[in-house]
Amino acid sequence: MNKLELIKEKLKNYDGEELRFMEVCGTHTAAISENGIPGMISPKIHLISGPGCPVCVTVTAVIDRLTELALTDNTTVLTFGDLLRVKGSKMSLADARANGGSVEMLYSPMDAVKMAKNNPDRNYVFAAIGFETTTPVYAMVLKEIISQDVHNLKLLTSLKTMPQVIRWVCKNTDNIDGFLAPGHVSVITGSDLFKELSEETGLPFVVAGFDGKGLLAAVYALCGMKGESGIKNVYKSAVTEKGNEEARKAVSEFFEPCDASWRGMGMIPGSGMRLKKEYSEYDAGSYGLDEDHMPPGCSCARVLTGEISPDECPLFGNKCTPEDAHGACMVSTEGSCYNYYISGRKKR
């Protein structure tokens, strides 16, 4: 029996105490569903989706600002696909477009610079949403804006960082036994980012990749570390201890840490990044966008922190489906509710 088959057998036949592991990466949530991981492991091992989907944790005030801009004369909002259907307090960007607003979907961040340069008489706003993974990309966009002397493109930022929200989860729940540390984030930050967190919480962190083999290895490693703090990296092909220092340097040139509001969770100190004041001319009104209005009955906040599973939300599969999503966790393809719904998973 090879190593992978041995891991699969041990995970499937695990019969110890109940274990709850949280992944804090939206891509992990999607990959776990796509690879059928929950069906390969013991019902005593529970995989919980945390606040790692950037679209899912964007507050309604940000969406409201973007829809306002989309409905402004001579202004186009540029965004990636998942954000289009996330509802603000009144409407989504898709609704704004249906009401005559100008919204364009991007496939590459650099397309924003190209569009603005090709249409100098029109104003463009790029919805810069994401975690440590994408913030360096927005830094590159800013470098291009400045180097090419583009003045009709600004960023509306809602940028989050992982450490503080993980601390918040640990302070507000006591039923997590370990974390699948985010692979893409760790490429930038390095696995060392989680050392202090592990020591503070007494919980293990395992950095994982996105294929089925890597995910199973990560879950197996967490089982072996139960009750211990420590870091393991099973994604060494992409993640080092120190990460990408050049990318972090680019981020620090344009952005600085700030307090940030998370959808359904409120303000978390030091959990965001914002443009430095010297680059405020490139900001489209990101400051002070903290208000959040959850749709009636929506339990996204409780889902994001692992308090309940998606199918325990009263709207799940009833008033809230991928075709008619009320909560952000059902909108995004990286959202826990979306992946529960399409995979037919149920609380175990």
pLDDT, tens only, 74-121: 999 999 878 999 989 999 999 999 999 999 999 899 999 999 999 999
User: Tokens standing for 130?
Assistant: 């994401």
Summarize pLDDT for 151-195 with one digit per residue, the tens.
Answer: 999 999 999 999 999 999 999 888 899 999 999 999 999 999 999
In terms of C-beta density within 10 A (0-12 exposed, 13-18 middle, 19 or more buried), how is residue 98 classed? exposed
pLDDT of residue 41: 97
Tell how strand 19-23 and strand 45-49 pair up.
parallel
pLDDT of residue 221: 97
Residue from 187, 129, 189, 137 nearest 163 by CA: 189
Q: What is the mean pLDDT of the chain?
A: 93
CB 76 within 8 A of CB 120: no
pLDDT at 233 exceeding the cut of 60: yes
In terms of C-beta density within 10 A (0-12 exposed, 13-18 middle, 19 or more buried), how is residue 285 classed? middle
Residue 176's identity, in one-letter code, is I
pLDDT of residue 348: 41
Distance (Å, whole) CA 263 – CA 267: 9
CATH code 3.40.47.10 for 1-298: no
For CATH 3.40.50.11740, list the domain ranges present in the chain. 1-298
pLDDT of residue 326: 84
348 or 133, which is more confident?
133
User: Tokens standing for 171?
Assistant: 């302070």
Distance (Å, whole) CA 122 – CA 343: 43
In terms of C-beta density within 10 A (0-12 exposed, 13-18 middle, 19 or more buried), how is residue 111 classed? middle
pLDDT at 347 exceeding the cut of 90: no
Summarize pLDDT for 7-43 with one digit per residue, the tens.
Answer: 999 999 999 999 999 999 999 999 999 999 999 999 9
pLDDT of residue 163: 94
Mean pLDDT of 320-340: 90
The values of phi and psi at residue 21, to 5°, are: -115, 135
pLDDT of residue 306: 85
SS3 of 1, please?
coil
SS3 of 186, please?
helix
User: Tokens standing for 273?
Assistant: 């990044």
Residue 346 pLDDT grade (very low, low, confident, very high; cuts 50, 70, 90): low
Length of the chain: 348
In terms of C-beta density within 10 A (0-12 exposed, 13-18 middle, 19 or more buried), how is residue 106 classed? middle
Residue 345 pLDDT grade (very low, low, confident, very high; cuts 50, 70, 90): low
Task: Provide the angle, in degrees to the nearest 10, between the axes of the packed helices 26-34 and 336-343.
Answer: 10
